[in-house]
Chain A
Amino acid sequence: NAGVTQTPKFQVLKTGQSMTLQCAQDMNHEYMSWYRQDPGMGLRLIHYSVGAGITDQGEVPNGYNVSRSTTEDFPLRLLSAAPSQTSVYFCASSHTGRWETQYFGPGTRLLVL
């Protein structure tokens, strides 16, 4: 198993550009989530999903869209990037999302100029 994979590893955007961060898992996990990590603030939940077609907001959802059409993939979309979205983004997954350990992907470092 490859576990949780994320692409790209690093991306530079200009303000106002859009892009999609990709996340995939091959463990047949129902639960997937996106976090952002900023210095001194730990990780904060952006959105999560408990299965195809079911998503919910986390602590910092503004500026981000998600959808879940397959069990394997959970892309994160930035519709109009802003410098405040400069961060490291982590995707995570777990079997069902009920009290289970979440396993994280390697992260995507995003710089918005």
Chain B
Amino acid sequence: AQKVTQAQTEISVVEKEDVTLDCVYETRDTTYYLFWYKQPPSGELVFLIRRNSFDEQNEISGRYSWNFQKSTSSFNFTITASQVVDSAVYFCALSEAGEYGNKLVFGAGTILRVKS
């Protein structure tokens, strides 16, 4: 069965520091998708990125960047120059093929606290 591991339960940084959130996954599928979601203190889930298993190019969006390495089954997320507004729980997820449609398997999440 698919599995997503986010080994960092909680990370605390000071504003303007760079921080990397780790995500390691397990799957037997050759085609799969990986996702990152953000859950701010208000509780909603905000989609950040989707990446398919055939595209190993790193992606950058503003202060956010993602490093996908198939060889190590990792999809890490880096925030550059962190800000207080980045404080949230971040979830990595893997899309698994179900009988009728795909299912998302989530990691346990990493709590990021950015202090001013």
A residues lining the B interface (CB < 8 Å): 31, 33, 35, 40-45, 48, 50, 54, 56, 58-59, 88, 90, 92, 96-104, 106-107
Closest A residue, CB atoms, query B33: A99
Most buried by B among A35, A42, A54, A99: A42
CB within 8 Å of A: which B69-116 residues: 91, 93, 95, 98-109
Q: Closest approach, in angstroms, between the C-beta of B61 and any C-beta of chain A?
A: 14
- Point out the residues of chain B lying under 8 angstroms from A40, CB to CB: 9, 108
- Point out the residues of chain A lying under 8 angstroms from B100, CB to CB: 48, 50, 54, 56, 97
Q: How far, in whole Å, are A31 and B99 apart by their CA atoms in the complex?
A: 13
Q: How far, in whole Å, are A33 and B45 apart by their CA atoms in the complex?
A: 14
Tell me which of A42, A99, A102 contacts B52 (CB under 8 A): A99
Q: Is B43 an interface residue (CB 8 A)?
A: yes
The interface size of chain B toward A, counting residues with CB under 8 Å, comes to: 28
Q: How far, in whole Å, are A97 and B9 apart by their CA atoms in the complex?
A: 29
Q: Is B63 an interface residue (CB 8 A)?
A: no
Whether the pair B108, A41 counts as a contact (CB closer than 8 A) is yes
Q: Is B44 an interface residue (CB 8 A)?
A: yes
Q: Closest approach, in angstroms, between the C-beta of B90 and any C-beta of chain A?
A: 11
- Point out the residues of chain B lying under 8 angstroms from A35, CB to CB: 104, 106
Whether the pair A101, B44 counts as a contact (CB closer than 8 A) is no
Pairs A–B under 8 Å by Cβ, sample size 24: A33-B103, A35-B106, A40-B108, A42-B91, A42-B106, A43-B45, A43-B93, A45-B105, A56-B101, A58-B98, A58-B103, A59-B103, A59-B105, A88-B43, A96-B101, A97-B101, A98-B101, A98-B102, A99-B52, A99-B102, A103-B47, A104-B44, A106-B43, A107-B45
Most buried by A among B6, B35, B47, B104: B104
Q: Is B16 an interface residue (CB 8 A)?
A: no
Q: Closest approach, in angstroms, between the C-beta of B41 and any C-beta of chain A?
A: 13
Closest A residue, CB atoms, query B37: A104
Known: A42-B106, A42-B109, A43-B106. A31 touches B101 (CB 8 A): yes
Q: Closest approach, in angstroms, between the C-beta of B83 and any C-beta of chain A?
A: 23
Q: Which 7 A-B pairs have the closest CB atoms?
A: A97-B101, A42-B106, A104-B45, A50-B101, A43-B106, A50-B100, A42-B108
